[in-house]
Amino acid sequence: MTMHEEIIFAGFGGQGVLFGGQLLAYTALAEEKHVTWIPSYGPEMRGGTANCTVVVSDDPIGSPVCRNPSIVITFNNPSLEKYESLIKPGGLLVVNESLIVEPPTRTDIDVVLLPATTLATELGDTKMTNMILLGALLGRRPVVAMETVQAVLLDKLGSRKAHLHELNLAALARGQEIGLAQNTEQAV
């Protein structure tokens, strides 16, 4: 069975939504998979809606857009309201529980709920929200290997941002841990 995942990262501008998707895309390339990354956002730099679609596949990719993604990470409540109903049955929804009003209700998809903004603040930087959510996604569904993500991330941050290495890795690990812990289905 060849791997083909259509993944949407959705939230507000300024939450690291686009970079979260880019990190996954760079990692997919490092693992020699086929990948496309497309952003969708308004003219605002911060505060407007921001989302991106990442397609990762073992095969060459035709459409870089999809109606029904197999995986969605929602960073805020409007994104959860918009995307919950669109996920393919059997797909995965990763929810930033810190910024939602009502929890998701679908029972035909996997759901990982975690208060990513709160956890990021606890780690020392709210900007780690995206890394925590990406970690949770990979804990639940290892589309790419965590080791590759770590290596690519450190490479992208470079020595100029060496002081952020540990924090980013800790955020990924925290998310992964929760993703794995909530991975009841595969544990059975």
Please report, as ranges, the residues that interact with other proteins according to CB under 8 A: 22, 25-26, 29, 34-39, 43, 61-68
Name which of 27 and 168 has its Cβ closer to other proteins: 27
Name which of 23 and 123 has its Cβ closer to other proteins: 23
Q: How far is the CA of 16 from the CAs of 3, 13, 75, 187, in angstroms?
A: 26, 7, 9, 31
Name which of 55 and 123 has its Cβ closer to other proteins: 55
Residue 188 CB, shortest distance to other proteins, in Å, is 31
Q: Which residues are within 8 A (CB) of 98 and not within 5 positions of it... i.e. 6 or more apart?
A: 115, 116, 117, 118, 119, 129
Residue 8 CB, shortest distance to other proteins, in Å, is 12
Name which of 61 and 173 has its Cβ closer to other proteins: 61
Tokens 């605002």 sit on residue: 44
Residue 165 identity: H
Residue 42 CB, shortest distance to other proteins, in Å, is 8
Residue 59 CB, shortest distance to other proteins, in Å, is 10
99 φ/ψ angles, rounded to the nearest 5 degrees: -125, 35
